[in-house]
Structure 1
Amino acid sequence: MTESPLTVDQQIHEAGPVLLKVTGELDHHTAPRLTQALEDVHLTPGSALVVDLSDLTYCDSTGITVLVTAYHRAEAADSSFHVAGLGRDLTRMFETVGLDQVFPLHPTTDDAVAALRH
């Protein structure tokens, strides 16, 4: 893959969860940027984190490891971790490696937030 910048923007949704919007390519070169952004999120019991990957154009095994590590960190903090906005190819990859059985996948951030309310 060519070096493509990865950006991670954080905001707090009006319903409460922290939203991280990830844009670009997630690989061994850019994974530290996402790792740091995930570690910067203050997780508390009952809090929620939604990672929006709708603008993610590529994800390798390093990126998957970052997401699984973040899931385990959220679980240890008694927080919830949701992934939203996967395109068709990334959804297929996540399903192939079984991540759809590890954490919830949602079509959009709005769907993830709605799932958190129930």
Structure 2
Amino acid sequence: MNETEGTLAISAHPSPGGPGGPVVLRLAGELDHHTGGRLGRAVEDLLRSPDAGTGIVADLSRLHYCDSTGITTIITAYDRAQATGSSFCVAAPSPAIAQLLRMTGLDQILTFHPSVEDAVDALRSG
């Protein structure tokens, strides 16, 4: 799955280290009221897929903007993953995005990892 519309690119990749691990969902650009729905659909598609493995790692290393709709979309993705018995975590947010997520309290709900590799390792180990 690869999508590029507007200012957000979304791509899903198998986790480093082989099958059975989480899917890495890479986000690049802006997560806002124009693009949030696409992220929601991408997460829903992954959760229905047998490829989801041990969950979803949202790689935010290339995300440079997130508004309140983007925050809501991330919370909804986490809630949907939990409802299906899957995991959802955030990896490699830029300092600005990490600060935004902390200011909104998402660090109290989601697990943040400094790198995709750390997130994948954490989800693999359960």
- The answer, yes or no, to whether TM exceeds 0.5 is yes
Matches within 5 A, 1:1-118: 5-13=7-15, 14=18, 16-42=21-47, 47-118=54-125
| Count of residues paired in the alignment | 115
**RMSD (CA atoms):** 1.8
> What displacement does 1:32 show?
1.8
- Normalising to structure 1: TM-score of the pair? 0.89
Q: Which structure 2 segments of 5+ residues have no match?
A: 1-5
- Hey, what does 2:3 align to over in structure 1? none
- Normalising to structure 2: TM-score of the pair? 0.84
Task: Report if aligned partners of 2:32, 2:66 keep a CA contact under 8 Å in 1.
Answer: yes
- 1:44-75 deviation line (CA, Å, top 9, x unaligned): 7x731101010001000000000100100011
Rounded Cα–Cα distance in structure 1 between residues aligned with 2:39 and 2:9: 8
Displacement over 2 Å in runs of 4+: none
Paired-residue identity, % = 47
Rounded Cα–Cα distance in structure 1 between residues aligned with 2:124 and 2:47: 20
Bigger shift: residues 10-19 or 20-29: 10-19
- 1:59-114 deviation line (CA, Å, top 9, x unaligned): 00000000100100011111111100101111111111111110100111101011
Q: Give the residue type in structure 2 aligned to 1:27.
A: D
Q: Which structure 1 segments of 5+ residues have no match?
A: none
Rounded Cα–Cα distance in structure 2 between residues aligned with 1:41 and 1:117: 17
